[in-house]
Amino acid sequence: MDEPLTDFQISLKKIQFLSPRVNQGLQFIFVIDGELTIEIDSRFYVLKEQDLLLINRNQLFQAQGNQTNSVLVLNISDSFMDQYYSEYRNSRFDCFSQEIEMGREIMLDKMRKLLVELMITYSRRDESYQIEMQGYICEILLILIRRFKQKGTAIESIDTNDFRLTKMVEYMERNYHQVITLEDMAKKFYLSTGYLSRYFKQKMGMGFSRFLMNIRLKHSVKDLLYTNDTISQISMKNGFANTKSFTGLFKEMYGVTPHVYREKHSKEPIDSFQSFPIEDTETLINSPEILAKLGTVLTKHDQSYSNTESRFEELQLNVSKSIKGKIYRPDHVLIIRELKELLKEDVRSQVLMAKEEMRLSYVGISHLLSGETITADIETDEEIATSSPYFKSDVALNFMKKNGLSLFIRIEYQEISKNEEYYFQKLYGFMKHCLQVYGASYLNKWHFLFYEPYYTAAEAMELKRVYLKMYHLLKKLVPGIHVGVFLPFSFKEEKTNDPHKWLLTEGNHIDFIGYHSNQNDIIDFQELSDDRFFMAKDYLKEKTAKIKSYLKKQHIEKPLHLISWNTLSGNTRFTNGLFFRAALVLKSVLDVMNEVESIGFWINTALHEGGEKGQRIRIEGLELFHYFSGKRPAYFAMMFANRLNGTVIAQGSDYLMTQNDRGYQLVLMNCNTVNPYYSIEEAFLQKLNKEILVKITGLEAGEYQIRKHIFDKDHGALYTKWWNLNSRHGIDWEIIDYINRSSHPDLEIFDETIASEWSFYSYLTVNAIHFFDIRKAII
């Protein structure tokens, strides 16, 4: 990791090999994924997923892992421990997750979670991240000291600041199997034999020879446990003069002979690591895949664990010095793919719900002629045909007209170019039929959008020719109909591409312009750094402004229609479900509602995914419904947008206040544009919660009823309900019905007497919406 911390260092690594070294300070090894074998002194530790091991100070260790492991490593320095724990040099800590006694599992789980919280904080690097890390370190150490402390040995008490002593011990650890004499060691370190003997006994509490013998015995235990070598071979391998000497010294330290010890404690044989000169093989991890693994740690062992840290803000509003702004309401387009979908009862019910609560104006369709809505002509010898190719479309259009809905039709160049003459012949026939049945006044509300994507092989003149042909055909039949074109636009370069520049010269033949805005298009999701995601903040607002400026320079001022868009949600369905983003949706709409004529939405997940026929789903549109008419966050966000009425009297990046004939309305949002992969199990977003102290002055004095609507991941989020009511035996209609009925924003009611100032606290979780309806009471 960059910016190493003096007191401690934390990192995520893939470890294949670590050559032997004496550990400095305390080192926590937490295996997130894969396997890692660590050799410490007299034994091997085989760590698997979720295993935690502590390496004490001055312990010689080496490690070997597979190529796919992911390991969280935390090093805490001796100086940090000495500063805050005076008994540190006299203590050691015995902490290995596979050998935890009953009753200490909870403490181990908590340490796992604290390590993950520490890593999350370091990755996020908020303003106060160093203070937060200090807090987590202290919590980890308190658990370690109070639950896993053992009496220290001479090894732990070595003064690591005594460089010469540390080097001596390291040399003995590396060369214990060879002949090492006091005279040789004194010569090697430029000391007299007598001084070294006294110096060593003073520092280590035992003589040089005894200390060396203890090292050899310690390593002999490893051979007894993990190899099939004979007792004689082990004694020679570890530097003992003979088997008799080895057996006597071993029994003196361990209370039994080497043979008896092996019978009682033998383990599955493990090959020794490669020789010391091998270079370290480890790489830092910086990829989103590991975030999912980290996130599961916080929920895997203790579901009651939660982290409720939040940041505090104060919002002061003086409405007596208010701005005066009008709320402009763009139309809403609900995209259903093909017109025939309106023959389905569930689709109709969703359309009607959207119309009632978010003022739906248009139904968006594509594949008008190439789909299944208009059937092929049937050959018949009947003088008057008893069948019609427009039967399905008529049923759908009757429903739409009855409910005050119009069509927003996307016509793709690729569809036309397959058989241009035939396509325009069918289009003319369909429009002539609709004009005959429904009249020009209804068709005048329809919109036709000519669409070709940014990356096209078609030439500009070809696109222009086909568009104008379509334009004149439609205008000839229905002069008042709206015909427009899709404008591909580069956010970075602030222009369209060459094949689409023709539309800049055809303003007289363009009624409106459609565009696309998706933050996911400009993000590299393999990057974990938050800096990469700051550019996505206010993306919709900025792109809309850039398009308007670009068109204005070309002397084109046409109504803009936002036909497809999204907030930052990840580029897969996985993160799209987990990442709660209601505030981002509402804020985006509030940012552009004065700039566009309409805003498009997908109707539901089933139709969106069904259109891809099993292929990877492009997350380009916001869906209002999940399966079975469950309402997604975008639905409720738009419902709140529709509820806003009156005059805007205060507005900021994450709040809006209006005044109307019944009182006031206030919307608070906790908008967070971050990497969606941080949202796995919500682990990475808990620190983004926000507590606001709101102080409002200038309100009309009197009695008020306050209605507070809370919409967040715990109050109305569909995915949370699905998750909590999940069962490995399946979900039936009763469960689905309950999920849909109970997934809605919470409502709280307060009676308030407001005089000169009204203040209150509001606690918002990540991307939450709090909508206050402040109604003047009639007394």
* Dist. CA 57–CA 459, nearest whole Å: 70
pLDDT of residue 307: 38
Sheet order of strands, 689-697 included: 310-318, 689-697, 757-764
pLDDT of residue 730: 80
Task: Say if CB 218 and CB 161 are below 8 A apart.
Answer: no
Task: Say if CB 410 and CB 451 are below 8 A apart.
Answer: yes
Question: Which H or E run contains 599?
Answer: strand 598-604
Q: What is the DSSP string of 753-771?
A: EESSEEEEEEEE-TT-EEE
pLDDT of residue 767: 92
Q: Residue holding tokens 């208009």?
A: 374
Where residue 730 falls (left for φ over 0; alpha for ψ -120 to 50; beta otherwise) is: left
Please report, as a single letter, which amino acid is at residue 243: T
Could you report how far apart the first and last alpha carbons of the chain are, in Å? 64
**Tally of CB atoms within 10 A around 312:** 9
pLDDT of residue 35: 93
Q: What is the DSSP string of 299-355?
A: HHS-TT-----EEEEEEEEEGGG---EE----EEEEEEESGGGGGSHHHHHHHHHHH
Closest Cα to residue 637, out of 673, 697, 583? 583
pLDDT of residue 267: 67
pLDDT of residue 115: 93
Q: Residue holding tokens 């109709």?
A: 348
Query: At 716, is the secondary structure helix, strand, or coil?
Result: strand
Structure tokens at 207: 């003589």
CA angle 418, 394, 604 (to 5 degrees): 75
pLDDT of residue 291: 64
**Structurally, what CATH architecture does the domain formed by 162-265 represent?**
Orthogonal Bundle (1.10)
Helices (H), 668-754: 718-724, 733-742
pTM of the complete model: 0.68
Closest Cα to residue 683, out of 122, 107, 292, 288? 292
CATH 2.60.120.10 domain range(s) in the chain: 8-155+282-300
pLDDT of residue 3: 46
Task: Say if CB 641 and CB 658 are below 8 A apart.
Answer: no
pLDDT of residue 264: 81
pLDDT of residue 683: 52
pLDDT of residue 779: 81
pLDDT digits over 285-301, tens only?
766 666 666 766 666 64
In the predicted model, residues of the chain with pLDDT beneath 50 are: 1-4, 156, 274-277, 301-309, 614, 680-681
Q: Residue holding tokens 């509602």?
A: 593
CATH 1.10.10.60 domain range(s) in the chain: 162-265
**What is each CA distance from 519 to 538, 595, 642, in whole angstroms?**
9, 18, 24
* Dist. CA 718–CA 626, nearest whole Å: 8
* Dist. CA 396–CA 405, nearest whole Å: 11
Asked if the 8-155+282-300 domain carries CATH number 2.60.120.10, the reply is yes
